[in-house]
Amino acid sequence: MPIKIPDNLPARASLEAEGLSLMADTEAARQDIRPLRIGLLNLMPDKPTTERQFARLLGASPLQIELSLIQLSSHSPKTTPAEHMLAFYRPWEEVRRQRFDGLIVTGAPVETLPFEEVGYWDELSRIFDWSETHVHAGLAVCWGAQAGVRHFHGVPKHVLADKRSGVFAHANMAPASPYLRGLADEIDIPVSRWTEVRPEDLPADGSLRVLLDSEESGLCLLEDARRRWLYMFNHPEYETGTLAAEYARDRLVDPSTPPPAHYFPGDDPSRAPRNRWRSHAHLLIGNWLNEVYQTTPFELEAIGA
């Protein structure tokens, strides 16, 4: 089923070229079904790229998706043109009275800062609280996931000695989980972060369940069943060349930066990387959307009741 995004969103052209089925407002109105309303709180600097990455995964589902782009009210992005933000985004203060079947919170380039020193931490905390009454299910990614477990469970993050970057193998710790349905016993997922959440800091009451874990790169995916949140510390949404672009950027700052682990063939940066995680990413996000669809109320007003 197509994903409904604005006709002139820059991501549309590239997604259509990939064969993704997209839908205009007039076409969506003719379908006698209620689309899933998914909000994307985009905290990344390169917002058009992040929009494309998540729209690609959401649009591969057989469900009709209505994607709403949300920005913080207390923070103005410096690297995305104001015209783009004005055309396609709505500040959270403008949508806080609305209800959503799902909310995705992205990562942000602030992970080495203490949470309380992040300029928009207070607003993000209010958004997490708001999600308990206005959002049926949530998916937080990378720093967004660390922020979620910190806000809801008091779980700290730890700064790493070196950046953890690469494509790492992750063990499927809960094959019977609806979120991991159909996933292999071991899957590859891109990792790109300076911090980590550690198992010994998770709540002793079992309120956070480990779904994906890696011996080499650590915790990957946690489930908060009571709140219907998933916390993904890594990047299944990354495109084939994303880690290569990050590596080139990091080398401008530090020429001795090592290449991402297990990413380039033979760990040779002169060779083009191959995408080994695309199918896992589509299945994981598809499973999340299906679980949202199966459990969300038909009437939006009933969400959070």
User: How many whole angstroms separate alpha carbon 260 and alpha carbon 62?
Assistant: 34
DSSP character for 267? G
**Selected catalytic residue, list 134, 153, 235, 262:** 235
Q: Where are the alpha helices (DSSP H) in the chain?
A: 11-17, 25-30, 47-59, 82-88, 92-95, 121-134, 143-153, 242-253, 278-295
State both tokens at 181.
Answer: 């349905």
State both tokens at 21.
Answer: 């089925």
142 catalytically annotated: yes
State both tokens at 297.
Answer: 């109320």
What totals of helices (H) and strands (E) does the chain contain, helices first? 9, 12
Q: What is 119-141 written as a DSSP string?
A: TTHHHHHHHHHHHHHHEEEEEEE
Cβ neighbours around 224 below 10 Å, total = 19
**Selected catalytic residue, list 136, 237, 262, 280:** 237
State both tokens at 8.
Answer: 């002139």
Position 278, amino acid: R
237 catalytically annotated: yes
The H or E element spanning position 40 is strand 36-41
Residue 113: helix, strand or coil by DSSP? coil
**Selected catalytic residue, list 51, 66, 134, 142:** 142
User: How many whole angstroms separate alpha carbon 100 and alpha carbon 35?
Assistant: 11
Which residue shows structure tokens 């193998």? 169
Cα-based distances in Å from 108 to 142, 184, 228: 8, 29, 22
Distance spanning both ends of the chain, measured CA to CA = 29
Burial of residue 284 (number of CB atoms within 10 Å: 0-12, 13-18, 19+): buried
Catalytic residues: 142, 235, 237
